[in-house]
Amino acid sequence: MKNNIILTALPESVEIDGKQYTIRYGFREWMQWDSIIDGSGNEVEKIEKLLRFYYPIVPMEKLEEAIDKMLWFYRCGKNIEPENETRHRYQRKTTNEPAYSFEQDAPYIYAAFLDQYNIDLAVEDMHWWKFMALFESLSEDAKMSKIMYYRKASTSGMSRDRRAFINEMKKLYKIRDSSGRRMTLEDRNRKWREYVLKRQNEIG
């Protein structure tokens, strides 16, 4: 059976080489994923930080599978490449800017959940998959949804006044330091494979 947030229990562990490994599943931890990926340090430092952060006990002898399962959990059970997935309904082929930043947009996300769901994210304990299901279902009237639209909207074909307004909103809500910071998926996969081989040789 495919993962179904209604019919199956939300996972709190992943299976690696026939064994269950606990993984941190709270939404607060996983909201920090992008800040780790986009943060300082080289790719080896980042992958080591990710593994230590999300696994209470890192399965060091099965690092490649551990990384795959960590990515799978981050994508809420979707077996697709992270840079090719539609992270949100506003992240279509429009602009190259990301639709949201959990770090920068925290006040807007907090307000949207409180207004639409009466959920206080400051005190709520919530599984990452549940959080993302609610986040991706925010009303188009929510300010957070409008901000994501402004960031991703293409102004091609718009009237001059509308284009001027959208461009002003893009400037107002631009994600800070977002351009050019991410490696390509191919480069990241190569770096991570190199890391796995290096650690396997050290263990072996």
Whole-number pLDDT of residue 178: 52
Tokens of 197: 């081989």
pLDDT per residue as tens, the chain (204 positions): 467 888 889 999 999 999 999 999 999 999 999 888 888 888 888 889 999 999 999 998 898 899 999 999 999 998 655 444 444 444 444 567 789 999 999 999 999 999 999 999 999 999 999 999 999 999 999 999 999 999 999 999 999 999 999 999 999 999 986 544 455 555 666 676 777 766 666 655
Buried b or exposed e, range 92-121, using 16+ CB within 10 angstroms:
eeeeebbbbbbebbeebbeebbeebeebeb
Distances, alpha carbon 11 to alpha carbons 23, 79, 138, in Å: 9, 15, 23
Angle between helices 43-54 and 63-74 (to 10 degrees): 70
| Model pLDDT, residue 78 | 82
Question: Which tokens is 159 given?
Answer: 């009237």
Q: What is the sign of the dihedral through the CA atoms of 41, 47, 49 and 53? A: positive
Using an 8 Å Cβ cutoff, are 70 and 36 in contact?
no
- Predicted confidence at residue 42, as pLDDT, reads 81
Q: What Rg do the C-alpha atoms of the chain give, in angstroms?
A: 19
In 10 A of CB 150, how many CB atoms? 21
